[in-house]
Amino acid sequence: MTTDSRKPTPTYQSLVRGGPSMHVARRIGLEPPTLHRRLIKVLLLVLVTWVPLVILSFLEGHAWGDAVAEPLLLDPVVYSRFLFVVPLLELAQVAVETSLGVQMQHFLESELVPEQHRPEFESAQATAVRLRGSVWAEVLIVALVVTTSVRARVFISTTVADSSWERLGSTITTAGWWYILVSLPILGFFLVRWLWIYLLWGGFLFRVSRLHLELTPTHPDRAGGLGFLGWGAASFALVLMAVSAVLSGSVARQIIHLGSSLDSLKYHVIVFVVLAVVVLHVPLLAFAGKLSRCRFRALLDFGTMIWRHDRAFDEKWVKLPAAEQARLLGSPDVTSLADVALAYEHVERMQLIPFDKKAVVVLVVAALVPLIPLIGTTIPLAEILSKLGEFMV
């Protein structure tokens, strides 16, 4: 009778889906997620956040025309937030959930976490999942976003000259109230919930970084085998794109309705992109100490090994008579000398955090794509299309 010595497949519980919101979605038939159900959910979000604003604005005569200075259908903020950002934040679950699951499992499958430390790893995982599914966490998020929306949109300084689909002077329109009490809180809930998920993931990585990890200093990813975490940061690209779209809509509104220029706001855009990429890599700093110590020890070990190897090589070949040195060419000793030098070079090039240049490019592109339409606020669309046509010819 033979026994199966294979290690059990690591289990993964979602760090993205959970809590009361998931239970509500299950009650109305939107869980477990499938492509069809996700599309229905996106459609429902648009129907709840955007469509009522359009209907109420039309009924009040504020959707189009000259009745107000800022009609709803000419407000880029409404389009970006509720036709792009909210659906995108919902669809981002696919990429992030898959990526975080793969990364959690890889810690165990690659044996980065030794068997004796597996219970501690699973404890860190269970804590993160439990906090994600906490009722109190989502209740606090709802309370926070509703309070913030009311404070930001109701208790603001107004003038008689204020004229938009949202308010006339100090009077908030019906569409404005829906925006404040329903649409904005839903947007805020998605944004803050993603922030919560990011913080939980960062906390999980911090606890894992405190464990004993079997790092490989010569690993070709130059991160001791943790390079997958650097690429994993790119899974938040859709979330970053959504946040960038929120910024893009606000900037477009300032340009169109408040007379600002893209040139005067370009530094805000640059700071946002740089800051966003840095923030998404902050959790990986938790591994800097371990990678630094791994690199230092490996440099000492490989340095000693190379010294011994070179000394033996010198004794065997360099100090031989000239006639014997002719056998040097093609010797396996020469090959081993090159191999040891290559291994030392791998160690010397180790990074202090799991950093991936391609992932950074993906994140930068994700942050910049929603800002591209801002060009249309300074350059007429016809001119842009004309230039594109010239390039195609």
Q: For residue 66, what pLDDT is reported?
A: 84
β 167-168/171-172 pair status? antiparallel
- For residue 245, being part of any structural domain is answered with no
Query: Which of 150, 181, 213 is at the close of a domain?
Result: 213
Are the C-beta atoms of 229 and 287 separated by less than 8 Å? yes
Q: What kind and span of H or E run contains 242?
A: helix 237-257
Q: For residue 257, what pLDDT is reported?
A: 63
Quick one: tokens of 377? 């606020």
- For residue 42, being part of any structural domain is answered with yes
- For residue 226, being part of any structural domain is answered with no
Residues 99 and 197: their CA atoms lie apart, in Å, by 13
3-state helix, strand, coil in the chain (%, to 5): 75, 0, 25
Q: For residue 153, what pLDDT is reported?
A: 86
Mean pLDDT of the chain: 82
Same domain, 186 and 335: no
Same domain, 208 and 308: no
Q: For residue 382, what pLDDT is reported?
A: 56
- For residue 141, being part of any structural domain is answered with yes
Statement: residue 264 has pLDDT above 60: yes
Same domain, 200 and 298: no
Statement: residue 94 has pLDDT above 70: yes
Question: With pLDDT > 90 as the criterion, what percentage of the chain qualifies?
Answer: 48
Residues 184 and 251: their CA atoms lie apart, in Å, by 18
The whole model's pTM is what? 0.82
- For residue 280, being part of any structural domain is answered with no
- For residue 282, being part of any structural domain is answered with no
Statement: residue 173 has pLDDT above 90: yes
Same domain, 165 and 58: yes
- For residue 299, being part of any structural domain is answered with yes
- For residue 310, being part of any structural domain is answered with yes
Q: For residue range 128-155, what is the model confidence (pLDDT) as tens digits?
A: 999 998 999 999 999 999 999 999 888 7
Task: Give the model's confidence band at 56: pLDDT under 50 very low, under 70 low, under 90 confident, else very high.
Answer: very high
Are the C-beta atoms of 376 and 388 separated by less than 8 Å? no
For the chain, what is the domain count? 2
Same domain, 169 and 41: yes
Same domain, 40 and 149: yes
Q: For residue range 269-322, what is the model confidence (pLDDT) as tens digits?
A: 788 889 999 999 999 999 999 999 988 888 887 777 666 666 666 666 555 555
| For the ranges 80-94, 314-328, 331-345, the one whose mean pLDDT is highest | 80-94
Statement: residue 112 has pLDDT above 80: yes
Task: Give the model's confidence band at 33: pLDDT under 50 very low, under 70 low, under 90 confident, else very high.
Answer: confident
Query: Which of 213, 232, 264 is at the close of a domain?
Result: 213
Q: For residue 392, what pLDDT is reported?
A: 45
Same domain, 68 and 157: yes
Residues 110 and 119: their CA atoms lie apart, in Å, by 16
**65 Rama sector, left if φ>0, alpha if ψ -120 to 50, beta otherwise:** left
> DSSP states of 318-376 as a string?
ITS-HHHHGGGTT-HHHHHHHHHHHHHHHHHT--SS---HHHHHHHHHHHHGGGGGGGG
Statement: residue 6 has pLDDT above 60: no
Query: Which of 186, 213, 240 is at the close of a domain?
Result: 213
Residues of the domain holding 340? 294-348
Same domain, 133 and 39: yes
Same domain, 309 and 164: no
